[in-house]
Amino acid sequence: MTKSERSELLPGTLEMLILKTLSIGQMHGYGIAQHLQQLSQDVLQVEEGSLYPALQRMQLKGWVSSEWGLTPTKRRARYYKLTALGKKQLAQEVAEFDRMLLAIQRILGTA
């Protein structure tokens, strides 16, 4: 796959996508990356370089919490899960994003 076929994430959407991913259940960092990549059918390529700082940021804001656990293959990994605050944030960001998307579509004349 060449680079041009991948899309850069819109700024600020990464956090929303992580929140959405975590709303399924707790997950480790690699899992989140895989999940995002698979669901987007490899269109969205999450840079690990921005994933972990984003996770730390979200943890500081209190949207996610983390704890160490074991993977099915008995490897130690840090699992992240959504907090109540995170759920609220997700709802808010999705609403926001919908509004923005609608606006863009209107301008492009696709809505």
Partner 1 sequence: MPGPIDFLATLVRRARFYLHRERFERELAEEMQFHVEMKARDQECAGMSVPDAEWAARRRFGNARRIKDETGDVMAVGWVEAAIQDARYTVRSLRQSPAFATVAVASLALGIGATTAVFTLVNAMLLRPPPFPDANRLVLAFQTTTPGVFFPVDSMPWSYEKYRRLEELVPAFADAGFSSWEEYNLRRTGLPAGSEPESAARVRAELVTVNLFSTLGARATLGRTITAADSSPSATGAVAVISESLWRRHFGADPGVIGSTAALDKLPVTIIGVMPGSFTGIRENAEMWVPLEAVNVLDSPRRREQMEGGMGAVVARLAPNATLAMADAQLKAAARTLNTIFPPPAFGPRNAARSGGAVSFAEARQHPFVRPLLVVLSIAVVGVLLIVCANVAGLLLARARAREAEMGLRIALGAGSGRLARQLLTESMVLALLGGIPGLAIAYGGAMALARLRPALPPNYVLLRSVDLLQGASLAPDWRVLTFAVAITLVVGIAFGAAPAFAASRTNIADLIKVAASRGATIRARGRRALVIGQVALATTLLVGAGLMVRSFQALLRTDIGFVPHNVIKLGLAGGDSIASTAERRTEMLARIAALPGMESAAAMNCAPLEGDCAMMPITMVDSRRAERDEYPPVEVHTVAGDMLRTLRIPLRSGRRLTARESQGVPTAVMLNESAARLLWKGESPIGRRLSTFQAGQPSVEVVGVVADVKYEAIDAPVRPAIYYAAGQFSTAGGSVIFARSRGDAAALLPAIRRIIAESDPTSAIYEVATGDEMLARAASSTRFVTTLLSSFGVVAALLAALGVYGVLAYLVSQRKREFGVRMAIGALPSSVLALVFRQGLGLTIGGVVLGMAGAVAASRLLSSFLFGVGRSDALTYAAVVATVGVAGLLATLIPARRATQVDPVIALRD
Q: What does the binding site for partner 1 look like in residue numbers (CB under 8 A)?
A: 28-30, 33-34, 47-49, 52-53, 56-57, 59-62, 68, 75-78
- To partner 1, the closest distance from the beta carbon of 64 in angstroms equals 12
- To partner 1, the closest distance from the beta carbon of 57 in angstroms equals 5
**Alpha carbon distance, N-terminus to C-terminus of the chain:** 31
For partner 1, give the closer residue by CB, 75 or 109: 75
For partner 1, give the closer residue by CB, 16 or 64: 64
Starting from the edge strand earliest in sequence, which strands make up the sheet with 27-28, in order? Answer: 27-28, 76-82, 64-70
| 42 phi-psi bin (left φ>0, alpha ψ -120 to 50, beta other) | left
Tokens of 63: 């949207």
For partner 1, give the closer residue by CB, 68 or 108: 68
- To partner 1, the closest distance from the beta carbon of 23 in angstroms equals 21
Amino acid symbol at 46: V
Amino acid symbol at 60: L
For partner 1, give the closer residue by CB, 57 or 106: 57
